[in-house]
Amino acid sequence: MTVRGSSYQTAPLEQYSPEFRELAAQLFALVGGRVRQTQAKKYKGSYTFTAISTQGTAAKIIIYEEGQGKVNGRRPGLEDGVYVLLRVNTPAAPQIWQQLSLEYPAIFQKMRIEDTLAIAPTHSEQFAFLLVRDDDEFQKIADVVSRWCQSM
């Protein structure tokens, strides 16, 4: 279980396995098609989506792979793969979480709002996270991420 205080500094995207990079890029494109162009940003080691109202980080797509990047604090206990992260330490997050968890229960049953991870260098931003599996429903995950960003 990940606990507050754990953080992960991503490696450059090209250092991760090709299958993880492809999966992350596909999901980024899918979410990017649902949000404003200015909300979707590809960075050196991750993909970021900003909130529509605050322009702060609302969600991220990262890759975690043992031996890549840097763990700060406690070991986060993540499996290798692609993760969707939803920022939960904002005033609006609990209400948005409650609403979307009713509409997308299968997705939100796999995450916990109190089980968070920070992504360096912004350790103050805490994210609930979901491991994206090949058999996951990309359309629903993209819907959740885009609605999360539009509601923040």
Residues 6+ apart with CB under 8 A from 45: 9, 10, 11, 12, 13, 62, 69
Digit-coded pLDDT (tens) for 124-134: 889 999 999 87
Q: Is 41 within a domain?
A: yes
Residue 55 lies in a domain: yes
Domain that holds residue 130: 7-151
Q: In this predicted structure, what is the pLDDT of residue 54?
A: 81
Higher pLDDT, 62 or 125: 62
| 46: in domain | yes
Residue 116 lies in a domain: yes
Q: Is the dihedral of CA 140, 141, 143, 144 positive or negative?
A: positive
Identify the bridge partners of residue 75 per DSSP, sorted by sequence position: none
Report if residue 1 sits inside a domain: no
Does 67 reside within a domain? yes
Residue 4: pLDDT band with limits 50, 70, 90:
low
Kindly state the percentage of the chain with pLDDT values over 70. 95
Count up the domains in the chain and report the number: 1
Residue 114 lies in a domain: yes
Which tens digits make up the pLDDT trace of 88-147? 999 999 999 999 999 999 999 999 888 888 888 887 889 999 999 877 789 999 999 999
